[in-house]
Chain A
Amino acid sequence: MSVGRARWPSWLVLGLGFGFLYLPVLLLVVWSFNSSRLATVWAGFSVKWYGELLRDRQMMDAAWVSLRIAFWTANASVVLGTLAALVMTRMRRFHGKTLFGGLITAPLVMPDVIIGLSMLLMFVSLGDMLHFQPKGMLSIWIAHTTFSLAFVSVVVSSRMAELDKSLEEAAMDLGANRIKVFFLITLPIIAPALVSGWLLAFTLSLDDVVIASFVSGPGSTTLPMKVFSSVRLGLSPKINALATLMIVAVSLCAFLGWWLMSRNERRRRADMQLALHDQA
């Protein structure tokens, strides 16, 4: 492309932008190995904060609660989000489609405090009617699934909209019914979108502190809630260690995902070339 004539301003913009995005995170990683309690004084390399973090029972319990909720949230929101994406991209207009579209996109922008408050009041009303209190892991799971499925449906819809419809039509012409077409043609093609949707829902659930604080009950403290209360009390080097572990895990996942995707892409391109070659 000949548009970018001057090159150095482009590199400056990217350098500053990525510096802004990554320097704070890198500093956290460096501080996590500082043996001093004070983040600003370097007192030598140490991994003692990692040990203290792993010995912190409350932190570990909260992490376990969070991981379980995130896992089930991701599963449920992929199923529901894919159904929602199917409705938005494959169904002809029906009464209430506009309302449905609104309900699906609203959680993307709705402030957390409003979602949290409304969810809690719903659970309380529901509990009043049914005479039980669903506050706890179940209510956090329901709340997280509700807002994550909106994100999943956006990711999946954009993939479905790109999908070549003639493939589905060809399958139908050959006598496959809609359900078979969906499972044999559509689903394998949109599988990468489902994986990224799953990961997105997982991280969204793992990340949320506001909504979880509203709907959680005693005994269901998530990791972000624990981190939030400890940050409010002041800085703790343990949090640096926790942050570093999370950053390492996320980077590994992202790298793995990127590697798998680029491998798939290369294979797909090779297949296409082979097919074109055979035709010629």
Chain B
Amino acid sequence: MSAATVFQALRKLTPGPRWGVIGIPYLWMLVFFAIPFLIVLKISFARLAIAMPPYTPILEVDGAEVALKLNLSNFLQLGALQNGYIAAYWSSLKIAAIATFLTLLIGYPMAYVIARLPVASRNVAMMLVVLPSWTSFLIRVYAWIGILKSSGPVGRLLEKLGVIDALQALGWIDGRQILYTPMAAYIGIVYCYLPFMVLPLYTNLVKHDTRLLEAAYDLGARPWRAFLRITLPLSRAGIVAGCMLVMIPAVGEFVIPELMGGPDTLMIGRVLWNEFFANRDWPLASAVAIAMLLLLMVPIVIFNRVQQRQIEGRLT
């Protein structure tokens, strides 16, 4: 074999510049995003141990004998009804779903009105929607804590209106304040995630052909009917994207229920956090994460589809 053929064989094996471009981000995401999930999966089958790191290896090597030990007790613990994990999953789904619906209720009219503004004011309005999310998330949660506590403006307003006792009887508020109730968690989630709802809705609504609406009006449709028959069906992709963008992270939300929700607002993100930091049970925390991922798999896949189609759709 001559040097030239060796060189040529090597050139075939070494990747070209195209593979450099693909390889760098690909490798990064594989090593720092994909493999970590496999490690979580592995540890969810391990057993808690008093060691550092606090879990047992699942592969036991004894001379030439290698034994794979999958410990299912973490998942059995999750599945047992009396342990309350199922209740936590259920309540995070419920809280996230209600909060997403409220966000849609507030976000849709905003996106609709902004999309119908003249071009120059449209951009300013969208900037104003996104601007608060550029200040710290924690700071915005903190602002609401001040507003919702008993001596805050909302509490005093409710007192003045004389509805505070009625709300208390309904169980909507805790003592004299909204803070530390599930309602506070809803307000926090809606407030912090509103831009994520408005953005995709706006990008969708702004592309609509207004001639369709004009045609509907010419044919005698009332505005409401035209909206229900034309605008709403056309904005379905935006609604799906916005709801997914709010709902999926809200299910695993930790900071808002922890700071605003009080002890009764059970969400699975908090359970994971407590299992990990307070109980230091890494295998169980991993199992909680795996189960949460399985729960979110369907919406995440839907979201990826929508996202991919948007990136690729604009190419053609």
Binding site for B on A (CB under 8 A): 1-6, 10, 13-14, 17-18, 20-22, 24-25, 27-28, 31, 38-40, 80-81, 83-84, 86-89, 91, 94, 96, 100-114, 117-119, 121-122, 124-125, 128, 142-143, 145-146, 149, 153-154, 157-158, 161-162, 178-179, 203, 206-207, 209-210, 213-214, 224, 227-228, 231-232, 235, 239, 242-243, 246-247, 250-251, 253-254, 258
CA distance A247 to B140 in the complex (A): 10
Instruction: Please name all residues of chain B whose beta carbon is closer than 8 Å to the beta carbon of A203 when the two chains form the complex.
Output: 134
Of B22, B37, B128, B300, which is within 8 A of A118 by CB? B37
Let me know if B22 and A1 touch, CB within 8 A: no
Interface residues of B (CB under 8 A from A): 17-18, 21-22, 24-26, 28-30, 32-37, 39-40, 43, 53, 106, 109-110, 112-114, 116, 118, 124-125, 127-129, 131-132, 134-147, 149, 151-153, 191, 194, 210, 213-214, 223, 244-245, 248-249, 251-255, 258-259, 269, 272-273, 276-277, 282, 285-286, 289, 292-293, 296, 299-300, 303-304, 307-308, 310-311, 314-315
Among B29, B124, B147, contact of A146 (Cβ-Cβ < 8 Å): B29
The smallest C-beta distance from A156 to any residue of chain B, in angstroms, reads 11
B-chain residues with CB within 8 Å of residue A209 when the two chains form the complex:
137-138, 255
Query: Given the known A-B contacts A13-B109, A27-B143, A100-B29, are A105 and B304 also in contact in the complex, defined by CB atoms under 8 Å?
Result: yes
CA distance A247 to B36 in the complex (A): 35
Residue of B25, B136, B143, B214 near A227 (CB, 8 A) is B136
In the complex, how many angstroms separate the beta carbon of B302 from the nearest chain A beta carbon? 10
B33–A113 touching, CB < 8 Å: no
Q: A31-B146, A235-B145 are in contact. Are A243 and B25 (CB under 8 A)?
A: no
CB A99 to nearest CB in B, in angstroms, measures 8
Dominant SS among interface residues on chain A: helix
**In the complex, are the beta carbons of B254 and A112 less than 8 A apart?**
yes
Assess the B304–A101 pair: CB atoms within 8 A: yes
Chain A residues with Cβ below 8 Å from B253 are 111
Q: Answer whether A149 and B28 are a contact pair too, CB < 8 Å, given A101-B308, A106-B304.
A: yes
Cα separation A88 to B106 with both chains bound (whole Å) = 33
SS class, residues of chain B in contact with chain A = helix
25 interchain pairs, CB-CB under 8 A: A2-B214, A6-B223, A17-B106, A25-B143, A27-B147, A28-B143, A40-B151, A103-B26, A105-B308, A109-B296, A110-B249, A111-B253, A111-B269, A118-B36, A122-B36, A145-B32, A146-B28, A213-B277, A224-B138, A228-B259, A231-B141, A239-B139, A243-B142, A254-B127, A254-B134
Check if A235 sits within 8 Å of B146, measured CB to CB: yes
Q: Are B146 and A27 in contact (CB under 8 A)?
A: yes
Known A103-B29, A178-B17, A243-B135; 5 more pairs at CB < 8 Å: A3-B214, A100-B26, A101-B304, A113-B273, A228-B255
Partner of B36, one of A25, A119, A158: A119
Q: Which residues of A contact B152 (CB under 8 A)?
A: 39-40
Q: Closest Cβ of chain B: how far from A153's Cβ, in Å?
A: 8
Residue of chain A at shortest CB distance from B245: A109
Chain A proximity of B17: nearest CB distance (Å): 7
- Among residues of A, the one whose C-beta sits closest to the C-beta of B198 is A17
Whether B304 and A250, one on each chain, are in contact in the complex, defined by CB atoms closer than 8 angstroms, is: no
Complex formed: what's the CA distance from A246 to B142 in Å? Answer: 13
Output the least CB separation between B307 and chain A (Å). Answer: 5
Bound complex: CA A254 to CA B77 (Å): 49
Given the contacts A121-B39, A179-B17, A109 and B244 also touching, CB distance less than 8 Å: yes
Query: Would A24 and B140 be within 8 Å (CB), given that A31-B146, A128-B53 are in contact?
Result: yes
How far in angstroms is the closest Cβ of chain A from B237?
A: 15
Output the least CB separation between B185 and chain A (Å): 15
**What are the residues of chain A within 8 A of B277 when measuring CB–CB?**
213
User: How far in angstroms is the closest Cβ of chain B from A122?
Assistant: 4
- CB-defined contacts of A112 to chain B, threshold 8 Å: 249, 252, 254, 269
Residues of chain A lying within 8 A (CB to CB) of residue B245? 108-109
- B residues near A153, Cβ cutoff 8 Å: 25
Closest to B39 in A: A121
Q: How far is the CA of A121 from the CA of B282 in the complex (A)?
A: 9
Is A80's CB under 8 angstroms from B24's CB? Answer: yes
Least CB distance, B291 to chain A, in whole angstroms: 11
Nearest chain A CB to B197's CB is how many angstroms away?
11
Q: Are B134 and A158 in contact (CB under 8 A)?
A: no
- Please name all residues of chain A whose beta carbon is closer than 8 Å to the beta carbon of B132 when the two chains form the complex: 21-22, 25
Question: Within 8 Å CB of A214, what residues of B?
Answer: 276
Residue of B whose beta carbon sits closest to that of A203? B134
**How far, in angstroms, from A102 to B305 measured CA to CA in the complex?**
9
Residues on A with beta carbons closer than 8 Å to the beta carbon of B315: 89, 161
Contact partner of A14 (CB less than 8 A), chosen from B118, B125, B303, is B125
Which B residue sits closest to A127, measured CB to CB?
B53
A142-B32, A231-B145 known; A243 vs B311 contact (CB < 8 Å): no
